[in-house]
Amino acid sequence: MQDLTDLYQSVILDHNRRPRNYSVLPTANRVGSGNNPMCGDQITVYVKLEGDRIADVSFQGSGCAISKASASLMTVNLKGKTIPEAEAIYADLHKMVTTGKVEDDNMSDLAALAGVYQFPARIKCATLGWHAALNAAKGDEKPATTELPGD
């Protein structure tokens, strides 16, 4: 039985303590929100979309260390990406947190989240900010919620 503390690698601890791009983005033209009632995580994501490129992205919210660190990593990894590129990164991340397999060497700091797969209740924490960001970028006004099917 693996201890939950093993999940909190230095990357996660660092991003939880000092979340990157943790602010309201004044230039944002898209806003998305995410809610994970199972854990109490709530995240708001601000996206500045230029064409189909995420020119800038930030977030604010409250919740557990995993949700905050993952959202912080999301902003770092999605900034400057096109929506299809962002969806590809999210697909790799989703596979990683559900199977523990790191498919892509380019996952770099995101690989810190690989251990989440051992704690299924935490998968939603790790994907919440990404869901909210992609929904916002794609113009889906509905809040991302972990209670919808297909999560």
Q: CA nearest 120: which of 100, 90, 91?
A: 100
Q: CA nearest 63: which of 90, 36, 45?
A: 36
- Cβ 69 to Zn ion shortest distance, Å: 10
**Minimum CB distance to Zn ion smaller for 24 or for 38:** 38
Q: CA nearest 33: which of 144, 138, 148?
A: 144
Per-residue x/- track, 1-40, Zn ion (CB under 5 A) = --------------------------------------x-
For residues 33-92, which are near Zn ion according to CB under 5 A?
39, 41, 64, 67
CB-based contacts of 12, cutoff 8 Å, min separation 6: 65, 66, 69, 112, 113
**Minimum CB distance to Zn ion smaller for 43 or for 110:** 43
- Cβ 60 to Zn ion shortest distance, Å: 15
Is position 125 an interface residue for Zn ion (rule: CB under 5 A)? Answer: yes
Are the C-beta atoms of residues 77 and 133 closer than 8 Å to each other?
no
**Minimum CB distance to Zn ion smaller for 36 or for 135:** 36
Q: How far apart are CA 109 and CA 113, in angstroms?
A: 8
Which residues sit at the interface with Zn ion, rule CB under 5 A? 39, 41, 64, 67, 125
